[in-house]
């Protein structure tokens, strides 16, 4: 198992990052919120999980060890593969997923594209005793997707829009959500818009539509 990768970021896409590890460019799939923290030219450390299929080897990267643990636990539920597990983490933080499963909050789970009511019920049934209670993050779950400062932040609208499209929303729906959360970006801190927070706000807007 590849537990983590550490190296210089050479490219950041809509759903993956390329990390130069000892002269080898390794593509790592990651959630939009994790990718939003990365900048080309900086050095990053990403906890990872390797998914092996007959036709492919795919490396998934995470903001911290707890996110990786939840990603792997989610896949123990029937019908939940790595792509759906990643989509769940794109919509909800690990502790929010624990809370949703523990309280049988089906509406929270069905906010994830690809999860219907029956799928949410199955996830609750199969994972209620596995994910743990809210606040039970694994030790050392401080944010590990760290990078040195430098480089101008990418335009928040492009990042959030690309993430929404990647999660299955239409361009029209994505643009409407961007317009709804735009005031949040304009009122952001001097450090620039908080892209992960804007993405979560956009997803909440879409779930209410």
Confidence check: pLDDT of 151 > 60: no
Average pLDDT for 41-57: 89
Q: Last residue of a domain, which of 106, 127, 148? A: 127
- Give residues with Cβ within 8 angstroms of 58, minimum separation 6: 29, 50, 51, 82
- Asked if residue 11 belongs to a domain, the reply is yes
C-alpha span between 99 and 11 (Å, rounded) = 34
Whether residues 74 and 48 fall in one domain: no
| Mean pLDDT for all residues in the chain | 83
Q: Is residue 55 part of a domain?
A: yes
Q: What is the pLDDT of residue 18?
A: 96
Domain assignment present for residue 41? The answer is: yes
Predicted confidence at residue 150, as pLDDT, reads 36
DSSP notation for 103-144: TT-HHHHTTSTT--HHHHHHHHHHHTTTS-STT-PPTT-S--
Do 69 and 56 lie in one domain? The reply is no
Are 104 and 121 contained in the same domain?
yes
> Does 45 share its domain with 88?
no
Three-state secondary structure call for residue 209:
coil
pLDDT of residue 154: 35
Query: Rounded CA gap, 70 and 54, in Å?
Result: 24
Structurally, how many domains does the chain consist of? 3
Q: Which residue has the tokens 């009122």?
A: 187
- Give me the domain span that covers residue 108: 65-127
Residues 56 and 84 in one domain: no
By C-alpha distance, which of 130, 149, 165, 114 is closest to 44? 149
**CB neighbourhood size of 47 (10 A):** 23
Q: Are residues 52 and 8 in the same domain?
A: yes
């Amino acid at each position: 198992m590849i537990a983590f990768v550490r190296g210089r970021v050479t490219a950041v896409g809509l759903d993956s990052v390329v990390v130069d590890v000892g002269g080898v460019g390794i593509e790592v799939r990651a959630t939009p919120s994790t990718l939003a923290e990365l900048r080309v030219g900086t050095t990053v450390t990403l906890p990872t999980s390797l998914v092996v299929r007959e036709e492919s080897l795919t490396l998934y990267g995470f903001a911290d060890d707890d996110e990786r643990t939840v990603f792997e636990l989610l896949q123990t539920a029937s019908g939940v593969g790595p792509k759906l597990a990643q989509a769940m983490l794109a919509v909800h933080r690990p502790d929010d997923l624990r809370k949703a499963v523990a309280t049988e909050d089906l509406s929270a789970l069905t906010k994830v594209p690809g999860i219907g009511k029956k799928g949410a019920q199955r996830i609750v049934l199969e994972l209620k005793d596995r994910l743990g209670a809210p606040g039970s993050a694994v030790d050392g779950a401080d944010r590990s997707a760290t990078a040195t400062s430098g480089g101008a932040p990418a335009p928040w609208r492009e990042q959030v829009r690309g993430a929404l499209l990647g999660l299955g929303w239409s361009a029209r729906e994505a643009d409407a959500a961007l317009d709804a959360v735009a005031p949040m970006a304009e009122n952001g801190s001097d450090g620039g818009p908080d892209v992960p927070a804007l993405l979560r706000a956009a997803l909440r807007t879409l779930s209410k539509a």
